Amino acid sequence: MIVIIDYGMGNLRSVQKALEAVGHSAKISSDPDQVRHASKVILPGVGAFADAASELRRTGLGDAFREAAQAGKPCLGVCLGLQLLFDVSEEDGIHEGLGIIPGRVVRFVSSPGLKIPHMGWNTLRIRHQAPLLKGLGPNPSVYFVHSYHAVPERPEDIAAEADHPTPFTAMIWRDNVMACQFHPEKSQRVGLAMYANFAAL
C-alpha cells in the first residue's frame, strides 16, 4: 500500500487522485505505524518549512518517514516535502529538517525583474535518469510554485535542474529516496507518468 503522509500541510487529495488516475490506490494517513508498514511513502507539503518540520516532529511522522527511507522503501517528497528531506532550511530563520539528504534550503536571490515565488511551467534539465523520469524523454515541462530551493551538498543527488534564472535543484534522487520541487499532480501528462513510475517501483 502507498501511504500519503497527512501532517496537515499538503494538498493530499490531489496527490491521491493523481495516483488513482494511473490505476493505483493510496491511503492518506496521520498514523506513524501505517507509514512504517507502507510499501511506499509520499511526503507532500505546502506552506512554511518551520511549521511543517515542527508538526512532523510532534506527531512522530518524521521519524516514521525516516525509518521507511532507511528500510529501503521507495519514498517520494513533493514540493515542501523535498525541502524537508534536507538538513536545514533558511526560511524565516534556521530550522532543522529530516536530515535524509545533506544540504540546505535557501531563498532565491532577488534581482531586478525576477519574480518570487517562482510560479508556473518550467523545463527540466535532466542530469541523472531517475526512476521517476522513465519514458519521459528529454526536457519535460512541469509546474512549480516556490520561493525557496534546495542546495544539496553532493551534486550526484541532483537528478534534474531548472532555471530561475540560474540553475536550481528541481529533482533529487538517492537510492530509494526521490523528490520533486515541482508538483507532479499539477503537471498534467508528465506528472501522471511520474506517479505511475513511482507506483511501479
Single-letter residue type at 168: F
Q: Could you tell me if residue 180 is left (phi over 0), alpha (psi between -120 and 50 degrees) or otherwise beta? A: beta
Q: Where are the alpha helices (DSSP H) in the chain?
A: 12-21, 32-37, 49-59, 61-70, 80-83, 188-199
Is residue 188 a contact partner of residue 18, using CB atoms and an 8 Å limit?
no
In angstroms, the CA 159 to CA 21 distance is: 25
Cell numbers for 162, please give them: 531548472
State the catalytic residue, choosing from 75, 91, 180, 185: 185
183 catalytic, yes or no? Answer: yes
State the catalytic residue, choosing from 75, 79, 149, 180: 79
Beta-sheet pairing, 118-123 with 141-146: antiparallel
**What distance separates the 2 farthest-apart alpha carbons in the chain?**
49
Least Cα distance to 74 among 195, 189, 160 occurs for 195
State the catalytic residue, choosing from 118, 149, 164, 183: 183
Is residue 69 a contact partner of residue 97, using CB atoms and an 8 Å limit?
no
118 catalytic, yes or no? Answer: no
Active-site annotation, residues: 79, 183, 185
